[in-house]
Amino acid sequence: MLTLGNHVWRRREINDYLEGAERVVRPANLGASAPGRGLVVVPAADGTPVAVVNLQGSLFMQTLVGPFELVDELVEQARSQAKVIVVDFHAEATSEKIALARVLDGRVTAVIGTHTHVQTSDARVQAGGTAAITDAGMTGPHDSVIGVKAELAIHRMRTGMPVRFEPASGGVRIEGALVECDPEGRALSCEAVRVPVP
């Protein structure tokens, strides 16, 4: 499964693709008439149905509908189709991500934060059995400014002028989160993953 975020509409070529895509979700709290969907259920390798939900934060981001407005209904829809539910919360603010993880504790398997590209040290299983991490981090070049060649990002910040960003290449590592759960979808462990790529 692939989840998206605030850059979903950056290239319009994706619009038609999203309409038919069954393994890609975009944030559910964008315009209701926008292409694509924010909840998809797919079989895991052993056939277990896994619901994947994508939501976008509203603090320090332009987001049409507040995530807390529709999260309950969205999670109810997911729970009617799968016991294992993964929520990707694509958001800027740590407080908003921690709050959503608390709201969903006991109702989903994991709430995984994304967007900042910086992995946080708070991987945990909450009291109700929902795994959470505020940000899973970035798979990509870490010798950079969140993936972009540092000199280009700095030039834009110094001058305020538009700069064409290019991806950096050094310090590549895989980052993410590993969650184990039982057949009922209750998380047993949650661990941040950080693997250098030689």
Please give the residue ranges that form the binding site for Fe ion (CB under 5 A): 5-6, 115
> If we measure between CA atoms, which residue out of 152, 172, 176 comes closest to residue 1?
176
Look up 117 and say whether it is catalytic: no
For Fe ion, the closer CB: 48 or 65: 65
Q: How far is the CB of 58 from Fe ion (least distance, A)?
A: 13
d(Cα 64, Cα 6) in Å, to the nearest integer?
11
Nearer to Fe ion, 116 or 130 (CB): 116
Token pair in block for residue 136: 């899973």
**Least distance in angstroms from the C-beta of 56 to Fe ion:** 8
Q: Which of 7, 115, 117, 155 is catalytic?
A: 7
Tokens matching residue 47: 């056939």
Task: For helices 67-79 and 94-103, give the axis angle rounded to 10 degrees.
Answer: 40
Structure tokens at 99: 């709050």
How many degrees, rounded to 5, is the angle at CA 27 between CA 21 and CA 31?
A: 95
Considering beta carbons, is residue 105 or 135 the nearer one to Fe ion?
135
Contact between 105 and 129 under an 8 Å Cβ cutoff? The reply is yes
Minimum distance between the CB of residue 9 and Fe ion, rounded to whole angstroms? 12
Nearer to Fe ion, 116 or 185 (CB): 116
**Minimum distance from CB of 90 to Fe ion (Å)?**
6
- The catalytic residues are 7
